[in-house]
Structure 1
Amino acid sequence: MKDVYRSLDNLIKECPQRSLQNGDRYVIMSDLHMGDGGSRDDLAHNRALIVKALHYYYAQGYTLILNGDIEDVQKFKYAQILTAWRDLFKIFNDFAQDNRFIKIVGNHDIALLHDTDYPYPLHHGYSFVKGNDRLFVFHGHQASKLFSEYDYISEFVVKFMAKPFHIKNGNVAHHSKRRFAVEKRIYRYAQDRKVIAIIGHTHRPLFESLSKYDSLRWSIEDLIREYALASGERREQIRITLTVYKAELERLEKQKLKEKISRSLYQASPLLVPCLFNSGCATGKKGLTCLEVSAERISLEYWTPRGQAKSYIHEEALRQENYEDFQKYTLKEDDLGHVFLRISLLGSES
């Protein structure tokens, strides 16, 4: 852990920093894994969805933060990606021309740092400061011993094994124990340094250090407590919601995901410190996730083609926006000041 702390301390000192001002609005996306547009392109099936989502955020005045693994230059040549995704690069250009574009590298696109013709400034991380509080955005591979110490091995595996054998990135991200170890290291770092860490890399959405499995489990416990005090129509609503949540947890277990998903990042302590967030990815089978951040609030958003959201999403979502051919769900949301207060009170003592 000392090497990880040293690496992240250096990163947070060296990366650009800006003040988080009232009225600022950011959308953070990661892990697009843009390819050649073919069958091995992890983003191809979500092409229409991400284009429409980005048009939405551009029109709403958001600044776009792309937090690593955007162009998958470990599996494809940049020229192939550029040709296949001209519509997406056009939107990137629109954000950039308005000075509303921040691009951070991940382990799959870090080689772009050596491309002298690449059109956008590239960063290893980015900090946002609000008073004495700090929000630290970086891809997350920096906490992996494999990538930080033996990055050439990772590049070799992807180029000469994953690419020829048509191995997709999503499978590696969701099932690797090393990815969970990365989350745990970053959680401990953010807890000790009392900062909000926003990452990508693992493809697993996290909000206030909770995974989907943990979040559903906590929601069930809260609903059971409410059920005991409720009556009439409200009790019936709770019963229906519990049935939906229970079915989703059982689905995760049947897919043998429980071991990877349910292990808490904070298992060494009875207290949850809400210091770790993950924007997830844009390569989900039925949609994409992202984080929206302002000086006042932070939220986890889910975009999906209209009519494809699972039933538990309808129950879990705080808000739903319906458009002609897609839907946007606010899954989690909190007051940013309240999050920082909890980190300050619950984080490790200096």
Structure 2
Amino acid sequence: MSAKGRLDRAFSQALVLPFRRCSRYVLISDCHRGVGTSSDNFLKNQHLYYAAMEHYYRNGFTYIELGDGEELWENRKLRNITEIHEDVYCMFARFEEKGRLHLLYGNHNIVRRKNPAFLEAVILYAESAPEKSLYLTHGHQASFLNSTLWPLARFLVRYFWSPLENLGFLDPTSAAKNYEVKERCEESLRSWAETRQHILVTGHTHRPVLPEEPSFYYNTGSCVHPRCITCIEIQRGEMTLVKWIVEARADSVLYVAREVISGPVEILGPGSCCVLTGDPI
């Protein structure tokens, strides 16, 4: 099956959620939560992530994780990850109590697809303008190795590339670490979106994308950048690419700050909005 076929299949079974001007969603991908060792790439940004999550919880956003939340290629046991990052999963429980949590799987936590709570794709459906609906998935479907041959890719990462990375070598098959692989993957995703005339939002490549001009392809980036996490906020019918970073005040006190990278880009034009009777969705 081709990349286009894999993406078509994913969205044919997607969960459909409402997308209105009053909707509030935050899209985050590629946390790669590990077991707290030196190879746990999430560890250095965990405080940024938790501060961002508190902000989105207080402000009524629905959290959608676009895959690779857990690093289950380098690590065998999910229990070890949930114990180390217990605060994250407690936060998930708070979102879930409000009905504001949706988790997708990516290639690095594809084994989670056995859990009915984990999805391959979500469509944020704009009833007032269906052509403006947003199609959300991880993006690994663009790669034959990372989708169809994922057991082989996991074996190579777990027993070959992960040990070599500790010595300074980068995995040449990774869309996040190899420029040519990244370019091919993004071109495949962009081609599917343009061919199907769907607005596609993914993660996987770790490269944030939100052009100021109208586009069919967007990317949230990741939570494992060297000094920040990036995500896409959706509110007022607009998408905004933001990053969360550590800043210093004049008195040298450190604090977590939210900074707009790009946008907002209008998706839904002005019009009537639903009446909020509780937490926005």
User: 2-side partners of 1:307 and 1:291: how far apart?
Assistant: 24
**Residue number in structure 1 paired with 2:106:** 106
**Residue number in structure 2 paired with 1:204:** 207
SS for the counterpart of 2:2 is: helix
**Residue number in structure 1 paired with 2:275:** none
Shift of 1:59: 0.5
Q: Within the alignment, does 1:325 sit opposite 2:255 as a pair?
A: yes
AA at the equivalent of 1:81: I
AA at the equivalent of 1:280: G
**Is contact 1:299–1:330 with CA below 8 Å preserved after alignment?**
yes
**Residue number in structure 2 paired with 1:95:** 95
> Structure 1 residues 128, 295: CA separation in 2 closer, same or farther (over 3 Å shift)?
farther
Higher-Rg member (1/2): 1
**Residue number in structure 1 paired with 2:36:** 37
Shift of 1:176: 4.1
**Residue number in structure 1 paired with 2:122:** 126
AA at the equivalent of 1:121: A
Give aligned pairs, total. 257
**Residue number in structure 2 paired with 1:311:** none
**Is contact 1:144–1:178 with CA below 8 Å preserved after alignment?**
no
**Residue number in structure 1 paired with 2:71:** 72
User: 1-side partners of 2:236 and 2:153: how far apart?
Assistant: 37
Equivalent of 1:193 in 191, 196, 216: 196
**Residue number in structure 2 paired with 1:62:** 61
User: 2-side partners of 1:24 and 1:328: how far apart?
Assistant: 20
Provide the alpha-carbon RMSD of the alignment.
Answer: 2.3
Equivalent of 1:275 in 200, 216, 221: 216
User: 2-side partners of 1:170 and 1:28: how far apart?
Assistant: 27
AA at the equivalent of 1:337: L
**Is contact 2:107–2:147 with CA below 8 Å preserved after alignment?**
no
**Residue number in structure 1 paired with 2:158:** 159
**Residue number in structure 2 paired with 1:293:** 234
Q: How does 1:143-292 map onto structure 2 within 5 Å? A: 143-167=142-166, 172=174, 173-208=176-211, 274-292=215-233
Identity of aligned residues (%): 25
User: 2-side partners of 1:63 and 1:128: how far apart?
Assistant: 12
Shift of 1:29: 0.4
**Is contact 1:190–1:197 with CA below 8 Å preserved after alignment?**
yes
Higher strand content, 1 or 2: 2
SS for the counterpart of 2:186 is: helix
Higher relative contact order (CA 8 A, sep 6+): 2
User: 1-side partners of 2:141 and 2:169: how far apart?
Assistant: 18
**Is contact 1:141–1:201 with CA below 8 Å preserved after alignment?**
yes
Shift of 1:67: 0.5
User: 1-side partners of 2:234 and 2:63: how far apart?
Assistant: 11
Shift of 1:97: 1.1
Deviations 1:180-219 (A, max 9, x none): 21110110111111111100000000113x8xxxxxxxxx
**Residue number in structure 1 paired with 2:278:** none
Deviations 1:160-180 (A, max 9, x none): 113334459997413242222
**TM-score with structure 2 setting the length:** 0.85
